[in-house]
Amino acid sequence: MMFLPLLALAGMLLAPADIVVPRGGGDVVQGEITRLDEDGILLRIPGEAEDDVVEVMLSWDRVADVRIAGPVQPRLPELMKTAETLWRARSRLDRGDMANAEPILELQFPGMVGRTSETALVVSDGLLRCRLDRGANAEALLPGLEMARLRRAGITTSSDALRVPPVLPPVEVEGVVPVWDPEFNLLPYLPPVWLDGPGVANARVELKEWSSESDPLMSTIAGLYQAGLDQDLGNEITPVDLESDAISDEKGTMLLGQMINAVHADPEVRKDARRRLQQRPANDPQWVEAWIRYQLGRSYLMEEGTGQRRKGQLNLAHVVARSSQAQPYLAGVAMEIMAAEFESTGDLEAAERLRGDLARSTPRHPVLRTPALNPSRPSLGDGKENP
């Protein structure tokens, strides 16, 4: 946050005064520390009017030193180590060093889950970006939900690192979208698209344990992500009730519900969900269109008819053509699914060409090393069309 010179000047009128020195220079903040814990430092500072008192909460990643003039704070040495640790993590995020920032944030994150403060936002948002940057979407799910919960609670931060959009290609590109979309209350870089591996199983456990009692919408979103994970792991799930108030009243929950149903084991449920997805508003953001096209591609590839499967390939090709820069993770997984479909029909040359294009355009994409997690689909059969 900004350390306002006026507040700092007013704080000097207090005697004795506790002093907080910010990172990166700037005026010190003087006042009375009334709270000091994992969330940060809460100070009481005289306001502009007589007898007016302002409370200021300072996040730990912005604190360089604390000098206590009042009662002894026995936890201060321990928390100052946290302050230095978070500053190092944020500095690494600032310069794009995600690989070395992630281990620090990973250790801090468990203690921040459920807290509502700027420090918690810095940790969850930073860890989210580190994991998105390496394409670990299942592992990004919990910090992503925490970040969205905090944003919905009105928590903000001035940390420069949080304005850096995550991208998988070696250079930044135009067309990136916000990490969190408040209209949908979803994270555009976190579609319900997973790669096989232990991260998926861990995410299921984390979702079961995560609670957002103060925000029912976030609880519903978490439940939808969990249902999608269960379904993609081959477990039978009940179709999402798209007419229920919890789903139909919000844009984000409706989108997730339709996507989950579009790859359900029941063909009629899939068909109805595809119809709904294709009838969505034309003014949906581009990231929503990319999610929809991808899921339509998966859905059509679950059918037996060659015409239906062709529609699946065309929808996936649309994602690759329109969203490779803004949505590199999603586009890369779409390319791998297309390649696998070409292999299943005997077109090995097309499959090899697609994988070669992916390796050249996005050499860090994890789908090059880890298979996509997809619901099982029927064999090619006799090529007859399904209605």
Residue range 341-353, pLDDT digits in tens: 999 999 999 999 9
In a domain, 316, yes or no: yes
pLDDT for 12 equals 45
Residue range 10-57, pLDDT digits in tens: 444 445 689 999 987 778 989 999 999 999 999 998 877 767 788 989
Q: Which domain holds residue 363?
A: 286-373
Give me the amino acid identity at 306: T
Of all residues in the chain, what percent carry a pLDDT higher than 90?
65
In a domain, 33, yes or no: yes
- Kindly tell me if the per-residue pLDDT of 293 is higher than 90: yes
Confidence of residue 6 (pLDDT cuts 50, 70, 90): very low
pLDDT average, residue stretch 317-340 = 93
Q: How many domains, the chain? A: 2
Identify the domain boundary among 74, 98, 133. Answer: 74
pLDDT for 314 equals 97
Identify the domain boundary among 74, 95, 116. Answer: 74
pLDDT for 152 equals 95
- According to DSSP, the β-strands at 40-46 and 53-58 are antiparallel
Confidence of residue 375 (pLDDT cuts 50, 70, 90): low
Confidence of residue 166 (pLDDT cuts 50, 70, 90): low
Lowest-pLDDT range of 149-163, 239-253, 291-305? 149-163
pLDDT for 377 equals 54
pLDDT average, residue stretch 98-108 = 95
pLDDT for 387 equals 39
pTM of the model: 0.87
- Give ∠ CA 195-198-203 in degrees, rounded to 5: 80
pLDDT average, residue stretch 44-71 = 85
In a domain, 80, yes or no: no
Identify the domain boundary among 74, 99, 118. Answer: 74
* DSSP assignment string, 321-363: HHHTTT-HHHHHHHHHHHHHHHHHTT-HHHHHHHHHHHHHH-T
Tokens representing 105 are 């944030």
Mean pLDDT of the chain: 87
- Kindly tell me if the per-residue pLDDT of 172 is higher than 70: no
pLDDT for 11 equals 42
In a domain, 66, yes or no: yes
HSE on the CB side for 273, CA within 13 Å? 29
Under 8 Å between Cβ of 297 and 283: no
In a domain, 359, yes or no: yes
In a domain, 230, yes or no: no
pLDDT for 245 equals 93
In a domain, 292, yes or no: yes
CATH number of the domain enclosing 41: 2.30.30
In a domain, 149, yes or no: no
